[in-house]
Amino acid sequence: MSLLTPEPGLVFWMLLSFGIVVFILARYGFPVILKSVEKRQNYIEASLQAAHESQEELGKVMEHGERLLTEARKEQHVILQETARLKEQLIEEARAGAAAESEKMLEAARKTIAAEKEEALRSIRHEISSLSIQLAERILRERLGNEKEQMKMIDRLLDEVDISKS
């Protein structure tokens, strides 16, 4: 028995096993993964939309502040002290609003970075498991290189199956 010319029975069982694994993944694994990706995409889009809306609102607030400042300059000769007070108040409100909006945007960016970090860690774990499987496969090929070793392994596995059924 050579590794390059497998027996038809072995090919059949390998195809059957592969088919079952693909069916299970297609049935249960892929929908969960796709749902997670779609949920993440929706979250990022919602965050971007919220940031855009807040930026527009900030622009409106700043525009409103500029209009008030222009009016205050026109009326400066009449109520100089009142204008100075309103100007300071508007500047402080705009600064507070800008600081709050920038903090919100920074928090959204931190969350996005954390989510991407988790995704990278999941990817690394998947890669490590794949490499572990490849390593185990190579070790088994070396240990079961001749027919005598293969028969010993098959007998031992059959004995374990009989013991576990009892």
Q: What is the pLDDT along the chain (166 residues), one digit of tens a residue?
A: 566 787 888 889 999 999 999 999 999 989 999 999 999 999 999 999 999 999 999 999 999 988 887 886 777 778 878 876 888 999 999 999 999 999 999 999 999 999 999 999 999 999 998 888 888 777 777 666 777 877 887 788 788 888 877 6
Q: Give which of 102, 53, 93 is closest to 69, Cα–Cα.
A: 93
- Quick one: pLDDT at residue 72? 64
To the nearest 10 degrees (0 to 180), the angle between helices 80-143 and 30-74 is 160
- Quick one: pLDDT at residue 149? 77
Residue type, 38: E
The secondary structure of 81-144 as a DSSP string is HHHHHHHHHHHHHHHHHHHHHHHHHHHHHHHHHHHHHHHHHHHHHHHHHHHHHHHHHHHHHHHT
Give dist(CA 110, CA 50) in Å, integer. 15
